[in-house]
Amino acid sequence: MKSNLFFNNEETEWEVVGDGIQRQIVGFDDKIMMVNVKFDKGAIGVLHSHPHSQVTHIAEGQFEVTIDGETKILKKGDSFYIPSNIIHGVVCVDDGMLIDVFSPIREDFMK
């Protein structure tokens, strides 16, 4: 299973995944996945964990990011890394977008 080689933003639908949160799958194969996630101001990515490693880049906005009990305010241009099975979450301070990269693929996103 894998995505197309090229991604066109205008041709890819956004999926509503929570109150004020939308997701757009950019590209994937069985080893890696990239996902755009739009947040409205005040939207909460609830604390959770998963077996996937994750690297996230803040493409727009400002977020309060909590990883393993430590919280920092990060803004456009900043990034963060989440090791496998570590509890993490975000609160959107200003309308924004995260670019998440997961390894391996988040099969739960494909349903």
What's the whole-number average pLDDT of the chain? 96
How large is the average pLDDT for residues 63-78? 98
Phi-psi region of 42 (alpha: psi -120 to 50; beta: other; left: phi over 0): left
Q: 26 Cβ partners below 8 Å, 6+ apart?
A: 3, 7, 12, 34, 35, 36, 99
Per the CB < 8 A criterion, the answer to whether 82 and 96 are in contact is: no
Least confidently predicted of 47-51, 75-79, 104-108: 104-108
Residue 108 has pLDDT above 90, yes or no: no
Residue 111 has pLDDT above 80, yes or no: no
Local confidence band at 1 (pLDDT 50, 70, 90 cut-offs): confident
Residue 46 has pLDDT above 90, yes or no: yes
How large is the average pLDDT for residues 21-47? 97
Cα-atom radius of gyration of the chain, to the nearest Å?
13
